[in-house]
Amino acid sequence: MGITGQFERVRGSYGAKLAVALLVVVAVAVGVGAMVYQQTNDQLRDDVRTELSATADARAAQLDAYLDNVRGQTQLASTRPALASGDRTEIAALLDELAAGDSLPDGVTAVHYYDAAEQRVV
């Protein structure tokens, strides 16, 4: 029995026609489902990547602003005469005053003096 014989068998049998139609419908449904799944997956991946990139950019901008603030406060504190005097007692008093005040940016918990000549934190 060749291929033409099998086609004749399907053509003559209602059950075989129904089985072939069911297989075609299932194949189309699986194909459409796979296509929708792939498109949804690609779109979701793009959306997540875009959102993560935007969040990272926003966090980077916040960190940059924070570091600019800390840099500015450091430069302002470095102009104090007590730091230029070299007297460790005056320097310690100034650092304690700075640490106790509200002028420091959020997150700064301590203030230190770095002696560049001795290359150490005093």
pLDDT tens digits for range 20-79: 899 999 999 999 999 999 999 999 999 999 999 999 999 999 999 989 988 888 888 888
Q: Which residues are CB-neighbours of 103 under 8 A, at least 6 positions away?
A: 73
Query: Does 115 map to a domain?
Result: yes
Query: Does 28 map to a domain?
Result: no
Query: Does 100 map to a domain?
Result: yes
Query: Does 102 map to a domain?
Result: yes
Domain count, the chain: 1
- Torsional sign, CA 64, 67, 73, 75: negative
When pLDDT is averaged across residues 92-96 and rounded to a whole number, the result is: 84
Query: Does 38 map to a domain?
Result: no
Query: Does 108 map to a domain?
Result: yes
Structure tokens at 111: 């203030």
CA angle 94, 95, 96 (to 5 degrees): 90
Q: What range does the domain containing 117 cover?
A: 81-122
